[in-house]
Each structure stands twice: as structure tokens, then as C-alpha cells.
Amino acid sequence: ETGVTQTPRHLVMGMTNKKSLKCEQHLGHNAMYWYKQSAKKPLELMFVYNFKEQTENNSVPSRFSPECPNSSHLFLHLHTLQPEDSALYLCASSQAGQANEQYFGPGTRLTVT
Amino acid sequence: GESVGLHLPTLSVQEGDNSIINCAYSNSASDYFIWYKQESGKGPQFIIDIRSNMDKRQGQRVTVLLNKTVKHLSLQIAATQPGDSAVYFCAENGDSNYQLIWGAGTKLIIKP
């Protein structure tokens, strides 16, 4: 596979469930990002990892827990989410320090019931 | 606070006409301004960028104009095609090279 892939593409979960989103990039990048995209809102940056180290956490609630085991993989662990967390979650990658050239995955459409 | 905003949330254009999508930004420290295109069911895709030391940059059928005096950015699409239907986002790097500030997006609709 090429580019940035995300699984699953769609996810429906209850408020008491625990699930994880996965992102993988095949571009040799060393920075990865999680975004939340809600209707009629700008993209909200959630987390940034550079060389596997978290360098940005934009006041994201603790019910979202990121994990970056290596430069190619990024996870977002979800637990006890709220209905307002329903959104499209996008993963992106770039070379570190080159956030202007981010490559995005197709996103995971999350619905919290 | 810092913000990047769009003048029009939706733009309808006749197929074959030129499209102009506008964006306002507020951070004078930004070095890069970028346009992304997001088609339905896909993530945003890089279209073109421009550095702060330039006023204009052209790509294939697209031109980006930067007016630093009024902090305005625009994307021009020539001879708009049905495949241009998407949401277009502007973004700027602000004070950082490690994250972007995103606009709300403009939905471009192509009329046959």
C-alpha cells in the first residue's frame, strides 16, 4: 500500500466501549498528526508526534489517548466517548518541521451512540 | 487569537468558468500558505502553496495569490471541471513549522 492508510473507515461505538483507530504511513515521514473534523468547523489538530515523541496536545480530553510506537504507525485509543465526539478523524504525516506538506489518510468516520 | 477564515462557505460555478476562493489570515509571522482540496469521502489533498516572499504562484490550472498588505489569500481555478467539486481549505503555518492553522473551508459546487 502507498500513502497514508487508516482503519477502520467507519466505526460505531457506544459510550462505554473501548476502541482504537489505526494509521499507517508508507512515505518515510517522521511526523504524524491526528485531526478531528466536525461539520462546519475548521480541522482541529489533536496531537502531533515528531520522531515518535508527542510534541503537541491541543487540550484534548483524556478519553482520547494517542500512541506512536514508531514513525510509521499512529494509534488513537478511545474510551468512554461522548456523542459530541462523533466526527471524522483524520491522520496525516509529513517530514518533521514541514507541516506545510502534510499527506492525509481517508479518515475514520466515528459515530458515538 | 490566530485565525484563518473563509469569506464564502459555498461557491457555485458554471462548468468551464473560472473559480476564485478567498481566504483571510491574521498571523503576520506565517511563512507558508497552503491550499488543500477535500473530496467527498477522502482526506484533504495538497494543491499548492506559496511562501510569504511571493505574491503569486501558478500550478496546473490553479493560481494562488497572496496579498500581505490586507492578509488575503486566494485560489483561482481555471476552466472549472466537475472533478473540481470539493471543499477547499486554506491553511497557514503561523509561528510554527510543526503545525498548521486551518480555515473553515469553502465548498465548491460545479453547475453543468
Query: What is the spatial distance between Cα B94 and Cα B101, in angstroms, rounded to a whole number?
Result: 7
Q: What pLDDT digit, counting tens, does each position of A89-112 carry?
A: 999 999 998 888 999 999 999 999
Name, in order, each residue with C-beta under 8 angstroms of A39's C-beta and a sequence gap of 6 or more. none
Q: Inter-chain contact A102–B46, Cβ cutoff 8 Å?
A: yes
Q: What pLDDT digit, counting tens, does each position of A13-30 carry?
A: 999 999 999 999 999 999
CA distance B50 to chain A (A): 10
Name, in order, each residue with C-beta under 8 angstroms of B4's C-beta and a sequence gap of 6 or more. A42, B23, B24, B25, B26, B90, B91, B92, B101, B102, B103
CA distance B31 to chain A (A): 10
pLDDT at B5: 52
pLDDT at B45: 95
Within an 8 Å CB–CB cutoff, is residue B87 touching chain A? no
Within an 8 Å CB–CB cutoff, is residue B94 touching chain A? no
